[in-house]
Amino acid sequence: MFGHGIKIFSIFGFDVKLDFSWVFIASLVVWSLATGYFPKELAGLSSDIYWTMAVVGMFGLFFSIVFHELAHSLVARLFGLKIKGITLFIFGGMAEMANEPENPTTEFMMAIAGPLGSFVLAGAFYLLMFMGDVAGAGQPMVTVFSYLAFINAVLAIFNLIPAFPMDGGRVLRAILWHYTGDMARATHIAARGGHFFGIGLIIMGLASVLTGNFVAGMWMVLIGMFVQRAAASADFHSDITSTFGKRTVAQFMIINPVIVDTRVMVNVLVDDYFYRYYHDMYPVVDGDRLIGCVSVRDVKKAPHRQWQITPVGKIMVPRSNDNTIGANTTMIDALSLMNQTNNGRLMVVEGDRLVGIVTLKDLLGIITLKNQLEPQG
């Protein structure tokens, strides 16, 4: 959903990365704390002290989000789930799972770990606040601890709202999955909760904007849009999993696709292939051997006046792991490769030989047909 970000450090074997959008939220947090929250909580200090408190508060928030996601990641590892890393982005943090939990118990334990970790951290900061007050550490430090205790409690409670993909939504999905035995149905219900929660946030945000609270209102609108988008993505991923499961590419590929010889000239490719079959891409062969593929993008790179003297072999993209896949590969892995490479058509191979093509358009059609024919929970 977001960019890869930049790695800033590793902890317990997990890479912690920072999405560039975090720069925005970090700046906003520092500004709002230095000019609003801390002056209101502790009046009469200099602006330098408020800005120092704000920077410390921002790093405390950074630590709190990493701690929250680390709780998810450690529990996921305990139950055998692979976590690729932790990314901090504009709306908080995300533990990047390589695969979905295989049972509701794993889902529940992993989901609840984050809010529980935030509650523990809230208690720890509250204790530091109390100890600092007793020890005479100074009101600025005590106020920062108070803020971090409060923000961790808010983070825990907000994440427990039963709206997917938030932690509470995952807890809800785990409970529904346990009682129904149907992960797809559980995901659909939890994602619908996320959809309506997102709409509610957008409406409240717009109302805040209209009443003059522009920053808070726009923030709620953005979070609402994010929740809606993430819920829809989770629901769609569930449809993919329930439709294809462990089924392989061989069951869905187009057999005997239209192929182009490497020696065919580009003008012939355009007239006899693109204008005749209307496909986006054609495999390129040399005899029985697959050597690459050619698409509209490749044709556009060649000057029009040279089409008659330019063979397809000069403009094609060589075969690679990005555009080919084995027939026995699962459809889930094929769709993952399409997503990673932004490639809607994959050539199916056995050794150097082309045996078929699998297309995203056809797969989406299968999912749509399944949803039309089968009752939805």
Output the pTM of the full model: 0.70
109 with 128, same domain? yes
C-alpha 121/C-alpha 192 separation (Å) is: 31
Q: Which two tokens stand for residue 281?
A: 């891409």
Domain boundary among 219, 244, 269: 244
307 with 321, same domain? yes
Three-state DSSP class for residue 375? coil
22 with 68, same domain? yes
211 with 337, same domain? no
- The answer to whether residue 290 sits within a structural domain is yes
Q: How far apart are the first and last CA of the chain?
A: 27
Structural domain of 183: 6-244
What number of CA atoms fall less than 13 Å from residue 260's CA on the CB side? 32
Domain boundary among 244, 279, 304: 244
161 with 215, same domain? yes
Q: What is the pLDDT of residue 150?
A: 95
Q: How many residues does the chain have?
A: 377
DSSP secondary structure, 233-293, as one string: HHHHHHHHHHHHTT-BGGGTPBSS---EETTSBHHHHIIIIIHHH--SEEEEEETTEEEEE
Per-residue model confidence as pLDDT tens for the chain (377 residues): 444 578 888 888 888 888 877 888 888 889 989 998 899 999 989 999 999 999 999 999 999 999 999 999 999 999 988 887 888 876 677 777 766 788 899 999 999 999 999 999 999 999 999 998 878 778 999 999 999 999 999 999 999 999 888 899 999 999 999 999 888 788 888 888 888 998 999 999 999 889 888 877 887 888 888 888 888 877 777 777 777 777 899 988 999 899 999 999 999 999 999 999 988 899 999 998 999 999 999 999 899 999 999 999 999 999 999 999 999 998 888 887 887 788 889 999 999 999 999 988 888 888 778 767 766 55
296 with 367, same domain? yes
Domain boundary among 192, 221, 244: 244
Q: How many separate domains does the chain show?
A: 2
- The answer to whether residue 205 sits within a structural domain is yes
Q: Which residues are bridge partners to 121 per DSSP? A: none
Per DSSP, 228 falls in state H
C-alpha 230/C-alpha 332 separation (Å) is: 19
- The answer to whether residue 287 sits within a structural domain is yes
64 with 149, same domain? yes
Among residues 261, 254, 263, 314, the alpha carbon closest in space to that of 284 is found at: 261
C-alpha 299/C-alpha 273 separation (Å) is: 12
- The answer to whether residue 82 sits within a structural domain is yes
Tally: H helices and E strands in the chain: 14, 11
- The answer to whether residue 1 sits within a structural domain is no
CA 147-151-154 angle, to 5 degrees, is 145
The CA–CA distances, whole Å, from 334 to 52, 99, 340, 346 equal 50, 14, 10, 8
172 with 299, same domain? no
- The answer to whether residue 322 sits within a structural domain is yes
14 with 47, same domain? yes
Q: What is the pLDDT of residue 374?
A: 67
Q: What are phi and psi of 101, to 5 degrees?
A: -60, 145
CA dihedral 297, 284, 280, 240 (to 10 degrees): -120
The CA–CA distances, whole Å, from 189 to 230, 238, 251 equal 14, 11, 30
76 with 187, same domain? yes
Alpha-carbon Rg for the chain in angstroms? 26
CATH number at residue 328: 3.10.580.10
232 with 261, same domain? no
- The answer to whether residue 162 sits within a structural domain is yes
289 with 224, same domain? no
- The answer to whether residue 228 sits within a structural domain is yes
C-alpha 339/C-alpha 353 separation (Å) is: 24
Instruction: List pLDDT tens digits, range 293-328.
Output: 999 999 998 999 999 999 999 999 999 999 999 999
